Structure 1
Amino acid sequence: MAWLIIGAIVAGLGIAALAQSPANGDKEPLSASNPAPDGAMATAEILRRHGVAVTESDSFATTTSVLAGKPGATVFLYDRNGYLGPTQLQSLLQSAARVVVVAPGLRTLTGLGSEIHNAGVVPDSTSTLGAGCVQADPLAAGDVSGKGGFLYTGAEVTCYRPSSNDGGMYAASADGRLVVLGSTALLSNDLLQEEGNAALALRTLGPTPDLVWYLPGLGDVPSDGRPPTLNELAPPWVGFLGLWLAVVALLAVLWRGRRLGPLVFEPLPVVVKAVETAEGRARLYQDSRAVGQAADNLRSGTLTRLAKHFRLGPEAGADAVLDAVARKVDRPAQELRMLLLEHRPRTESELVQWAQSIETLEQEAIAQ
């Protein structure tokens, strides 16, 4: 009898431990109920202790219902998969007093209809970022973690810029109703205590008494009805034309089909001239219209030859090469940067003209 009682107690303790285990809890990144390192339970709990009513939502219908009763609320939006469409995003902007979007992609930014757009990522060598602006919240928060952050530009207010030429990890509209945070680490349980992350997160999310913590799901994907089939999209004459084209293609194959002859044995190794390899690769680029790849190869080759000519060493960066060339040909470094690094040919004719320009520059630098 005693063994049965002990067994029942152990089984009860095991069931209770499993029920309270974090493995059975919320695992969504930046969820207000997720205690894991990538969750944001700590941020939500601190906001609640400071008097902010945090309402969690995982559907657009629930969010709009809450905003109908609390029009002055702030909406925290983390749509990492881009589920929401333009109509839904515009509805959130109109219904909420403020919308804070974390690490939005192109689809989300386009749907919001603002001028804010992506500007790259924070360099791996940058661990912290200074505010670099006069906006009240970033100025009070000070330095924050830049690890894994995204940069945005085009906003009236841009803060936390790695350099003057980059976008910022904090972007806001002029009226402050739309704020874009480019890093999930600012609110995560793992890095909330680092630098001024907590201060920036709390000041950005806590200006109003009510906060709707919204993480969209698959159920929020807008439905446009049943998509049309191929038969509905195609005109009536496609059926006859398709059959006729199939017959013509079969006749062409029988007429022009390649007939293989006997195998020819050739001793190895086969020596291929370098010029033939270069021409073959050039033809592949031309056939695939890979203008960008061809331009990158020309740019890399020019920089390599210039670095070798000026004896800068194999580890010399593009900026060092540009400085050496600028001093040699007596031209502004910014002009050379625009020509050699930043110019992106879009057509084959532009590629030819650009290749001639950088070849002339290389000849000038080497000749003098």
Structure 2
Amino acid sequence: MSRPQVPHRPFFHFGNPFQMISLKGSQMTPNLSALLNTFEETLAGRLRKLNPKDNNDVLSLSWMKLAMESLCGTRNDIKTLIAEIDLPVSAWDEKWIDVYLDISVKLLDICIVFSSEIARLNQGHLFLQFVLHNLNSTSSKQFIRARSSVDDWKNHIASKNPRFENCSTIWDKLVESLDLPKVKNSAKGKLLMRAMYGVKVLTVSVCSVFATAFSGSASKLLDLNVAETYMWAQAFNDLQSNVNGEIRNVLSSGRVTVLKELEAVDGIVKHLYPMIQDDVALAEEEAFKNSTSDLERKAQNLSQGLDLLTKEVDGFFQILLTGCKALLSKLRSGGAVSDQMMMGNVEGQVVR
């Protein structure tokens, strides 16, 4: 896997501000140790599976779908772990509740932004359909209409999604949320915070790649430092190095689009566009037909990839929302935290 020519300074260049959650002196039982090891080994496996085997996998919709599946899996893993360590919500420290809800709310916001960008790209597919319809028409005005649709598609793809600009504060706070609260005299609490840290590192890292892919800018791409004391640290570092390195190579090449399926469509459009400036010459008819067929196939691949990714993002959104509602329901029944405070956190912050 290729690396950037100039070493990129880590996002937290002053060192890792995230203190490793020590379990020493917390009377960690063999059962709790086994649960923690299983959780971290599972997370390491997910990270290794996500590590692309080929440069072409990076920034592809199929890889992004796999990444979102990993996020869904880790959220389910943490839910299972909470049940297995037998730590009822009534025993949670308010700081732990804040951590769980705060990260969930911010991720709900981010999911909405991602969904809006996927929908915008899918709108661009309509212009491609117009192009193909006109190129397959027998009308003498087919090229004029096709050129107009190509121009509409190019302008649409080149436009920016204002939601990315509007969620910068949410994004910054999402990164800040990696700094976990201190836990005293609770082996189960420290285990929970350690596990949450792993989930959040994967989540923030994947979201940074998604934001980079959709915006075409490396400003949101993060380099996180993870202590080697975590069983999944090496798998994460390998993944981050490979993916971030390839992304920076792609962006440094000056490409207008960075999503692989979108780039494939753009390449065919650029090849086809000069042919439809005027009537296609007889000598070019075969090349014209081949390019049109190629555009139809690649446009379909893009559309199908976006549809599959939409389902995964929606699924992740529902997991987050269901988790928040379940926690709030338990808090109401147990009276551990006021409904007004919790409902203000969750229902008042999600971007609409």
Query: Normalised by the size of structure 1, how large is the TM-score?
Result: 0.17
Query: Normalised by the size of structure 2, how large is the TM-score?
Result: 0.18
Greater helix proportion: 2
Which of the pair has the greater relative contact order for Cα pairs under 8 Å at 6+ separation?
A: 2
Greater strand proportion: 1
